[in-house]
Amino acid sequence: MTAAYWCVLLAAVLPLVWAGVAKSQADGYDNRRPRPWLDGLQGMPQRANWAQVNSYEAFPPFAAGVIIAHLVGANQLLVDGLALTFITMRVLHGVMYIQDKATARSIVWLVGFFCVIGLFLAAGWA
């Protein structure tokens, strides 16, 4: 497997990390009704939950970009670099979300978004 494919796995698991942060930082977790409980969070646990949701939203276009780039034979070094950068930005995005650093969070989100665009461009150039 390529580094980019491993990054797809990491991107799929990353939301669970943020969910764990949210659940571990607040009292009264209700496994019978996790969504209403998560909706009622405040402060840092709430931001960790938002990071989880955003990670799920970012996953499909990233995974599609990696898979499409592989299928058409895009430059592997470029695809791996974009995928690794995307994962780095997604980790930083979650950390910035949890720390309530909105501007930094938006900047790293944008870099990650450009990585996804880059994956599709790499596929187009192949």
Structure tokens at 59: 């996953």
- Domains in the chain, start-ordered, CATH in brackets? 3-125 (1.20.120.550)
Give this prediction's pTM.
0.95
pLDDT digits (tens, 9 = 90+) for 50-93: 999 999 999 999 999 999 999 999 999 999 999 999 999 999 99
For residue 31, pLDDT over 90 is answered with no
The whole-number pLDDT of residue 70 equals 98
Please report the pLDDT score of residue 34 as a whole number.
87
pLDDT tens digit sequence for 83-99: 999 999 999 999 999 99
CA 52, distance to chain mean position in Å, is 8
SS3 of the chain: helix, strand, coil, percent, to 5: 85, 0, 15
Coil/strand/helix, residue 101:
coil
